[in-house]
Structure 1
Amino acid sequence: MNNSTSPSPRPSSSSSRCHEPSSSPSFSSAVPDEIAANCLARVSKSQYRSTSSVSKSFHSLLSSPEIYAARSEIGATEPRLYLCCESLRTGATTTTRRSWYNLMSLDDERIKKGDAFISVNGAEIKMKTELRLVPVKDSSFHHLCARSKEANLAVGPEIYQIGGINKKNGKRSRSVCVLDCRSHTQRRAPRMRVARQCAKACLFDDDGSSIYVMGGCRRDKECWGEVFDLKSQTWKKETLPSPLLIGGDEFQVFALGAKIYVITECNKYVYDPKEGRWLLLDWHFVGLNRILELGGVWCVLDNLVFMECSSDLYWYDLSCGKWVIVQGLEDLCYTRVNCRYRMVQLVNYGGKLVIVWLVLPEAVSRRKPPVIPLEKTCFAVIRLEKRLTSSGLVISGEIERLSFSLVHGSYNPLTCLSVSL
């Protein structure tokens, strides 16, 4: 008697393939990386977290510089908000800490908190909790927050942090640091010629993308302004002298068309980079100095200057030198009437306008859970529409989204920037 067990029959090649899914090529391995990147670049960045969980190759590709290069090439970039906040740290001594936050959309229904309500004059305005602040944990970002009174400027997918006060020695800084929001890493750019604090910076792209940095230096310095070439990553040899009779330390800088404007409390100047000289603006621009008023915030969008004042939104009409109210935003004004709040910033959000303000305790209602936590930052995304009428240009706005942040604890929002990813 043969007690040996006969071997099991060998499975057919077809059945073997059915039980070996790992041998099947994945999408990313079946096509070149260039094609895969071009396909994935057309997916909204808000879906990258779920898409990267499909496979290791997807995760690697969605984290690589190639995906951002492909998005930029096909014009599929999306605006993303970054918020710099200052928080108090208590201990033996009270210190302040600055941190950067990425504003993420809560698309996942499992983590949505529902609706919240803010009480105004007995009525409740509904707000969607569509945004949350996610701390940028990379240590290099926190290293950049070691300075204060710096100029922050968004350029494409990067944030330039220029000058400021070094907290270690209390001196002005010539340093220029660049935050890459694609990889959350930091690099050093060439230092400025002059150390600056509280300088102003604007992006001027008529000559091939340059950063103009002005002010913030000692009065005896002739180099009142410097120009950084973004393509060559170098500071130009030519410097900008100070406009005549600038007077005082308070001023603002912005670019409109092919010229750069400097607004002070007393005068208004325009700089023509082609001619290389300053001109004093006439009385037609008299209203522009209102952007220096206490508590006023402003920004440039679509070659127009917008400003928030007394809960209303205005735009500046260069043709008549007057501020004109943006129509259709009565609901936004209503959310802040008789409320304690502090305006933080107006932001050019990829062609739309984002209004950022800090709601103070008296503005919060606890009638319906969940509610807005005390002293939280609110964000209103405004879509603007222009109409040319017989009486002139009319600009109206529509609230597309009204959200508040979900970060807990005491913190002070300092600046909000929109980058392209």
Structure 2
Amino acid sequence: MSPGESSEPLSLPEDVIVDIIARVPRFDYPTLSLVSKHFRSLVTSPKLYASRSLLGFTEHCLYVVLYNHFDNSNSRWYILCRKPDGNLRLVLISSLPPLHGNGSFVAVGSMIYVFDNTTSSASSIDCKSHTVQKLHNMPIHMVHTVAGLIDGKIYVSGYCNRASKNVMVVFNTETKMWEPEIKPIANKETCKRWTRNCVVMAGKIYTKDPFNSF
């Protein structure tokens, strides 16, 4: 075989190749994508993931973003996976460009939505193809944002320096658009505090301030 020749089993029908790859753990897809351009296209194709779903080979993956606290503009994304010996390791997702690590992250199905604290930018990561799509910027600049998902809508709240208060904006994951209304958080006590974390329970979002008050 010549150096540039692919070893891909082209003699196999396409459906057979898809069926075989569908049974391979997703953690090995970055390696498979190096085999050939055809394989690189297959591991990101909707047909492959439809086949995995029919075969019952869906997996829950934990995504990890690591960044330097003093320079968080160069964060890198990893998948936490289990090695054959049972130990865990972080696998770099090389296809994802560096993203700002200072922000809020919300997982919705196979998508991860990223809301940047520093520039008001928003983007989505397709966990099937490991590609990034730019979204419309947040309607207002906020710092110390937190975000939670309720009924297909992402509620992003944070402190607005311009308004000197906490506000909330809503992103619709179906239309990929921001709702026009900017909702002020009316509680006079919490308006002076920055939010640090949040949790969604029973259709409500509970936020925590630096003093561990909800």
After TM superposition, the score normalised by the length of structure 2 is 0.73
In 1: Cα distance, 2:38 partner to 2:131 partner: 22
Letter in 2 for 1:191: N
In 2: Cα distance, 1:59 partner to 1:149 partner: 31
Q: Indicate yes or no: 2:59 matched with 1:78.
A: yes
Q: Indicate yes or no: 2:210 matched with 1:254.
A: no
Q: CA deviation at 1:36?
A: 6.6
* Conserved 8 A contact 2:196-2:208: yes
Query: Quick one: structure 1 residues 262 and 53, their matched pair in 2 at CA, closer, same or farther if it must change by over 3 Å?
Result: closer
Tell me which of 124, 141, 145 is aligned to 2:97.
Answer: 141
Partner of 1:418: none
> In structure 2, the residue corresponding to 1:26 is in which secondary structure?
coil
* Conserved 8 A contact 1:223-1:239: no
Of structures 1 and 2, the larger Rg is shown by 1
Q: CA deviation at 1:65?
A: 3.1
Q: CA deviation at 1:219?
A: 6.1
Tell me which of 155, 174, 182 is aligned to 1:239.
Answer: 182
Please list every run of 5 or more consecutive structure 1 residues that lacks an aligned counterpart in the other structure: 1-23, 89-93, 113-127, 166-172, 267-288, 293-421
Query: Quick one: structure 1 residues 68 and 217, their matched pair in 2 at CA, closer, same or farther if it must change by over 3 Å?
Result: farther
Q: Which has the higher contact order (CA 8 A, sep 6+)?
A: 1
CA offsets 1:52-93 (integer angstroms, 9 cap, x no match): 8999866643342322244457764311122222249xxxxx
Letter in 2 for 1:133: L
> In structure 2, the residue corresponding to 1:254 is in which secondary structure?
strand
* Conserved 8 A contact 2:65-2:77: yes
* Conserved 8 A contact 1:200-1:216: no
Q: Indicate yes or no: 2:82 matched with 1:105.
A: yes
In 2: Cα distance, 1:72 partner to 1:239 partner: 39
* Conserved 8 A contact 2:142-2:160: yes
> In structure 2, the residue corresponding to 1:249 is in which secondary structure?
coil
Letter in 2 for 1:252: N
> In structure 2, the residue corresponding to 1:66 is in which secondary structure?
helix
* Conserved 8 A contact 1:136-1:184: yes
Partner of 2:4: none
Tell me which of 84, 106, 109 is aligned to 1:156.
Answer: 109
In 1: Cα distance, 2:35 partner to 2:163 partner: 60
Q: CA deviation at 1:38?
A: 6.6
In 1: Cα distance, 2:197 partner to 2:146 partner: 7
Letter in 2 for 1:106: K
Partner of 1:68: 49
Query: Quick one: structure 1 residues 52 and 235, their matched pair in 2 at CA, closer, same or farther if it must change by over 3 Å?
Result: closer
* Conserved 8 A contact 1:194-1:223: no
In 1: Cα distance, 2:13 partner to 2:31 partner: 16
Q: CA deviation at 1:49?
A: 6.9
Query: Quick one: structure 1 residues 135 and 189, their matched pair in 2 at CA, closer, same or farther if it must change by over 3 Å?
Result: same
* Conserved 8 A contact 2:148-2:198: yes
* Conserved 8 A contact 1:254-1:260: yes
Query: Quick one: structure 1 residues 70 and 193, their matched pair in 2 at CA, closer, same or farther if it must change by over 3 Å?
Result: farther
Q: CA deviation at 1:256?
A: 0.8
Partner of 1:214: 157
CA offsets 1:194-252 (integer angstroms, 9 cap, x no match): 012220011213xxx11110013226267810111101101112332213121322443
Matches within 5 A, 1:9-48: 25-28=11-14, 33=15, 37=18, 41=22, 44-46=25-27, 48=29
In 2: Cα distance, 1:52 partner to 1:251 partner: 39
* Conserved 8 A contact 1:141-1:179: no
Letter in 1 for 2:79: N
* Conserved 8 A contact 1:160-1:177: yes
> In structure 1, the residue corresponding to 2:62 is in which secondary structure?
strand
Please list every run of 5 or more consecutive structure 2 residues that lacks an aligned counterpart in the other structure: 1-9
After TM superposition, the score normalised by the length of structure 1 is 0.40
Letter in 1 for 2:116: G
In 2: Cα distance, 1:51 partner to 1:251 partner: 40
Cα RMSD, aligned residues only: 3.7
Q: CA deviation at 1:106?
A: 1.9
Query: Quick one: structure 1 residues 78 and 210, their matched pair in 2 at CA, closer, same or farther if it must change by over 3 Å?
Result: same
In 1: Cα distance, 2:54 partner to 2:157 partner: 32
Query: Quick one: structure 1 residues 242 and 75, their matched pair in 2 at CA, closer, same or farther if it must change by over 3 Å?
Result: farther
CA offsets 1:318-359 (integer angstroms, 9 cap, x no match): xxxxxxxxxxxxxxxxxxxxxxxxxxxxxxxxxxxxxxxxxx
